[in-house]
Structure 1
Amino acid sequence: MFSNTMYRQVLILASSQSLFQTVSVMVMTIGGLAGANIANSPTLATLPIASMFLGTALMMFPASMLMAHIGRRKGFLCGALLGVLGGIIAAIGIYYHSLFTLAFGTACVGAYQSFAQFYRFAASEVADDNFRSKAISFVMAGGIVAALIGPTLARLGGPLFSGFEYIGSFLIITIVSLIAIGILSGLKIPDQIEIKTDFNAGRPWQQIVFQPTYLVALFGSITGYGIMILGMTATPIAMQHSHHELGAITTVIQLHVLGMFLPSFFTGNLIARFGSSKVMFTGVLFFACYIAIAISGLHLSFFIVSLILLGIGWNFLFIGSTALLTQTYAVEEKAKAQAINDMTVFIVGLACSFSAGALLDFVGWKTLNLILIPWLVLTGLSLIWLQQKKYSQTTLLSIQDSKKTRNNSSTESINHSLRLRLTHAH
């Protein structure tokens, strides 16, 4: 059932992921800079980036519900179409010097992102048990293309139209989204996998969400995405304040995004070998290293190394959390389980992206990173707690099995003795 179909669908989803991430990286690279050119206050500079995450958070449930009724393929095509519209509207916003029109355009790009967030789940659904974690990683590895071309396209599009900086960048976003529509049109998920369900099917959402494993997976996801977004959003502005040029800024973002997605080639293997929790904990350690380097100085080398570590930490923590999450729901529950997870992730992403400019302005780059430490500590402790809980449950089951074995042995021994006595009696 899976052989040819599985690999073909994963390839299409990975290609679509690379294009969607190119769009997202472009907004992350120049969204704050374009906003700063228009905004009256530095605290509003990151509004276009925050609006992208707002669009994602607002559309997460509608996107999931829509795909539960019309299927993944049609839903993904709708999402890419929103990316086309978003690029056009954002370009109009820059042309008319309207920050809120620009923000509305990036919100449409965020709505595109809400659909695209289900690419990795679609990959886990078309893959068999042996390939599932690898399929998720391969789709996420599509972001390597985004790392290589996203910042470059953003930089090339910046001066394309004289007097209207970054209009070209957003028009390129429209073109990339159109290419994504072409690739997604070839997606053909088998009928036995593309199950269209009622959003209310399965257990109530409360029973799903309040499972310990779900809660830890969710917290890992919001930590990975929240810290990454905060660091990635603040970096271009912090570098600009430190008198680094646009070329240096895009290079740092490029290396950061490579750090986000290049490990995806082996993250799946690591999860299959060591388990999701250990890979997630490794991600927490990479984040700690990011903070240590980021607060050490404002030289270009510090930004490069810290942002690469930030990307690797996100990869381990976010992909590990996704793999862990897939263990917590049945097929008919996937729509609400995935939507709640990703909606929460992007609400946190929204808060982090919107607050990045204000935090940077009020407390500075160093303090902004130091306040992340308690967040990381809580994530590490939650992973240790889950591991201890699973160990205790395994130990309890082992003891119960041992008791059953002993009881069965005793019963057999008694029955054997009775049979012997009856035999002698006869």
Structure 2
Amino acid sequence: MTSTTLEGRDPTVRNVILLAICQALAMTGMSVNMTVTALVGQQLASDPAWSTVPLALQFTATMLTTLPASFLMKRIGRRAGFAVGVSIGIVGALAAFHGIFERSFLIFAAGSMLIGCFQGFAIFYRHAAADTASAAFRSRAISLVLAGGVFAAIVGPELSKWSYDLFEPITYAGCFIAVACVQAISFAFLYFVDIPPVRHTSESPDIRPLSEIVRQPTFVVAAVGAMIGYGVMSFVMTATPLAIVGCGYEFRDAAFVIQWHVLAMYAPSFITGSLIQRFGVRQVMLVGAIILVGAALVNISGLEIERFWLGLVLLGVGWNFMFVGGTSLLAECHSPDERAKVQGLNDFLVFGTVTVSSFASGALLNSFGWNAVNYGVLPLLALAGSVIAIALWQQRKAA
């Protein structure tokens, strides 16, 4: 796509397209990463219970990066901030590659943490789209950026299947070379992103303290929905490749299931924004919680590969409804001057939940099995569903 073509578009539409492409590239790398990281951890760890520790450390790094990334982008701009994140991601992928060749669990874990730092920047692609969109277009802009993950769903697992034996007999090392190359492509598209910085004027409203902002019922619903939706998705998805291979299926079967899972995460984004506009954000989030319950029940029902597939498809759709809904709702909680700290805090909470779930997932699977992983998410989903349902009831009562 040429500079002339891009500059001829409406700035909001152009930015959404560019951010969707960058999101697609980021998620392609993460799709590869999610498919193989736990399996590499299993190869390198001295104890099978540590298999998911590199992935958990990755989410820890994402959690710890969200606030610094948000404030850095407030200072230097979205485009420069995203470029810093991509650079860190490339270094992390190369470090993970080196760790596999050296058979070093510590080096591989360090590379995973750097990849997690990159994700701490990449999760702001959706917020960047919301920043430039009108209120009427905001939920669709967020959805369209997340829809870039459809590309990741198709390309990511195929890339992992093509590259995992590229350096035989050292398996999975090629996957991280592929991740580094995919992320490097992002620079070509970030060059054209043009998001004006927030201008602070004397007419700007007073910036409220976080303690006041987080007490808003809207913030509570947005944060709880996104935290539990993302945490449950990560908890089950992290354990899935280990469970599939542990049942005697091949790596390609695990890659196939993850491919459909990622597709289900992002394909609904083409319509989620429209559903939110038609039915309401809280209604869509509540349906997402119900779908996630269905995913857990399907996973509990048997160990056939078809059940793994269906359970992970439902897991992806439920996550999409809750996460897109939570992100849309969050934009109603803050002014432009409050944006950096509110978005940073929200994503810190979300990925804090994801970090805990990732650490727990491998240990629970190793100690108690696949069914325990899925039973474990049901109380959390009951909590999220209750919070959203109460907010919906209060909204209708007030109306």
The residue type paired with residue 31 of structure 1 is T
Give the one of 238, 243, 258 matched to 2:243.
238
Give the one of 310, 314, 328 matched to 2:315.
310
Q: Distance in 1 between matches of 2:9 and 2:215?
A: 36
> CA shift at 1:196, angstroms?
6.1
Give the one of 13, 19, 30 matched to 1:13.
19
Contact 1:68–1:196 (Cα < 8 Å) also in 2: no
Q: Bigger CA drift: 203-212 or 298-307?
A: 203-212
Instruction: Give matches, 1:277-292, under 5 Å.
Output: 277-292=282-297
Kindly indicate whether residue 346 of structure 2 is the aligned counterpart of residue 372 of structure 1.
no
Contact 2:299–2:371 (Cα < 8 Å) also in 1: yes
Aligned to 2:193: 187
Length-normalised TM-score, structure 2: 0.95
Structure 1 residues 83-137: Cα deviation after superposition (integer angstroms, max 9, x where no partner): 1111111111111111111111111111111111111111111112221111100
Q: Distance in 2 between matches of 1:289 and 1:358?
A: 23
Give the one of 141, 146, 151 matched to 2:152.
146
* Gap runs ≥5 in structure 1: 395-426
Structure with greater Cα Rg: 1
Kindly indicate whether residue 339 of structure 2 is the aligned counterpart of residue 362 of structure 1.
no
> What percentage of residue pairs aligned between the two structures are identical?
39
Contact 2:28–2:156 (Cα < 8 Å) also in 1: yes
Kindly indicate whether residue 66 of structure 2 is the aligned counterpart of residue 60 of structure 1.
yes
Structure 1 residues 337-358: Cα deviation after superposition (integer angstroms, max 9, x where no partner): 0001101111111111121110
Distance 1:145 1:197, change over 3 A: farther
Instruction: Give matches, 1:153-168, under 5 Å.
Output: 153-168=159-174
Instruction: Give the SS at the match of 1:334.
Output: helix
Instruction: Give the SS at the match of 1:161.
Output: coil
> CA shift at 1:17, angstroms?
0.3
Kindly indicate whether residue 106 of structure 2 is the aligned counterpart of residue 107 of structure 1.
no
Instruction: Give the SS at the match of 2:79.
Output: helix
The alignment's C-alpha RMSD in Å is 1.6
Q: Distance in 2 between matches of 1:152 and 1:196?
A: 44
Q: Distance in 1 between matches of 2:134 and 2:303?
A: 47
* Gap runs ≥5 in structure 2: 1-7
Q: Distance in 1 between matches of 2:224 and 2:75?
A: 29
Contact 1:81–1:181 (Cα < 8 Å) also in 2: no
Instruction: Give matches, 1:108-257, under 5 Å.
Output: 108-189=114-195, 191=196, 194-195=197-198, 202-257=207-262
Contact 1:86–1:107 (Cα < 8 Å) also in 2: yes
Aligned to 2:3: none
> CA shift at 1:3, angstroms?
7.0
After TM superposition, the runs of 4+ consecutive aligned structure 1 residues lying more than 2 A away are 388-394
Contact 2:283–2:392 (Cα < 8 Å) also in 1: no
Give the one of 272, 275, 282 matched to 1:270.
275
Kindly indicate whether residue 353 of structure 2 is the aligned counterpart of residue 348 of structure 1.
yes
Q: Distance in 1 between matches of 2:115 and 2:198?
A: 27
Contact 1:284–1:379 (Cα < 8 Å) also in 2: yes
Q: For this pair of structures, how many residues does the alignment match?
A: 389
Q: Distance in 2 between matches of 1:121 and 1:14?
A: 12
Kindly indicate whether residue 388 of structure 2 is the aligned counterpart of residue 383 of structure 1.
yes
